Structure formats: structure tokens, C-alpha cells
Amino acid sequence: GNSVTQMEGPVTLSEEAFLTINCTYTATGYPSLFWYVQYPGEGLQLLLKATKADDKGSNKGFEATYRKETTSFHLEKGSVQVSDSAVYFCALRGTQGGSEKLVFGKGTKLTVNP
Amino acid sequence: GAVVSQHPSWVICKSGTSVKIECRSLDFQATTMFWYRQFPKQSLMLMATSNEGSKATYEQGVEKDKFLINHASLTLSTLTVTSAHPEDSSFYICSASNRQGYFTEAFFGQGTRLTVV
């Protein structure tokens, strides 16, 4: 079945540091890939997505590229801010579209210190 | 993106009582809704998938008689925790998708913190 393996945290960085959170997946066909962010006490918000190979999702300075050859979707940001402190989830959805469930990684907690 | 509203944001109830949590899609037709449970510092555990107008499909190990899910319309799904006990205390999150494929992602509610005392 489909699965997502995500770098385990916690990750602690200083403000303006470079961020990478690794995510690899196992799936048949061409799944859609997502990064979600969860701030304390809140639900999940979509951060970015990519629906086909070589697509790059980007939002709020975060980027991730759908790499079919390495089955990866690593999240990167060149300069993190304190406000980026949150838990980040990598997820995939199979080829059945909106009615198919998301498969999540375990989440990576990021703390950015001033 | 689309908006999903979950209510209440938090609730405290006594053991043995039932609690209903609502999940509404405000600006799109949610043909499929998902209910998750999240334990502290852990990932989301999918409890069930519900398609509008049909019975929910529960994940293995989830008691369908305890966690009643209703998806009677394209904009509303409810989760009722029946005869709640302290071990049911958790963070419950819903998400909604549209089967027509315009949205490949799911949109999440803000979550409900349930505390059973």
C-alpha cells in the first residue's frame, strides 16, 4: 500500500537558517504529494502541493519538488522565521482523486529560535 | 483555498455522555469527508471516510458504534462520540474533499479538543 516516510524531528534552527525536511514515499502510479503545516492547537493547513513528476510546489518561501526517480518530496526554505515554528506533515493521495484518503508521514516539529 | 469549519473548537463533557462534532464545507461541495484523531505529539490517525448519502467506511480498530458518523448533505458531516470515556479525550480533525477532482488536496477543519472528565 501507499506510505510516506518523513524525517523525524524535532528540528531546532536559528532564525534565517536553511531548512530541509526529508520526505520519501512508496506508491503505485503517480500520486499527488502535499505538505501540510499544523500550528499549535489548530488543524492542518495546506502549505504546498505537486500533482505530477518534476512539479515544484511553492508557498510562503517554502518549496518542494516532486522527484519520481527518487520518490521524494523534500521540503526546503532558504531562511526560516520564528513564525515558521510548527509541525510539518508530508502526505500523498493516490490516483483516485478526491475520494481517496490522504496518507500522512509522522510529522516533523520545527522550532525556530530568534 | 476552500474553507472547512469545525465546531466546537473544544468541549468538555462528563463520562457516559455523548458529544457531537460538526464539520461544514463553507464554499464547496464536499462529496467525501474524513475524520481523524490525533494524539499528543503524534500524526493523524484516520478513523473513517464518509461519502455523502452513504454509510461511512471505518478503519480497522475503530468502533463504528462508538464513533457515529453522518454525512447527510454535501456540506455537513457529523461525528458523535457516544458514551464518552476519558480515553476518548483527544484532538479530532475533519477534512473535506471534492470527488470531481478540481481539488486534489483535502481541506481541514481547525480541530476539536475533546476532554472527557
A69-91 pLDDT, tens per residue? 999 999 999 999 999 999 999 99
Whether residue B94 is predicted with pLDDT greater than 70 in this model: the reply is: yes
**Interface mutation vs chain A, best among B104, B113, B114, B115, most A CBs within 10 Å:** B104
Q: Is A103 left (phi over 0), alpha (psi -120 to 50) or beta?
A: beta
Q: Three-state SS for A99?
A: helix
Q: What angle do CA A99, A103, A107 make, to 5 degrees?
A: 140
With cut-offs at 50, 70 and 90, classify the pLDDT of residue A28.
confident
Average pLDDT of span A95-107: 76
Cα gap B85→B115, rounded to integer Å: 9
Q: What is the mean pLDDT of residues B15-38?
A: 92
- Provide the number of CB pairs (under 8 Å) joining chain A to chain B: 65
| A37: its cell numbers | 503545516
Kindly state the percentage of chain B with pLDDT values over 70. Answer: 94
> Residue type for B77, please?
S
Average pLDDT estimate for B27-47: 87
Q: How far is CA B7 from CA A94, B40, B78, in A?
A: 29, 20, 10
pLDDT at A96: 62
CB < 8 Å to A92, chain B:
none
pLDDT at A8: 86
Alpha-carbon gap, residue A74 to B55, rounded angstroms: 37
Q: What are the counts of helices (DSSP H) followed by strands (DSSP E) for chain A? A: 0, 12
Flag whether pLDDT at B46 surpasses 80: yes
Chain A partners within 8 Å of B92 (Cβ): none
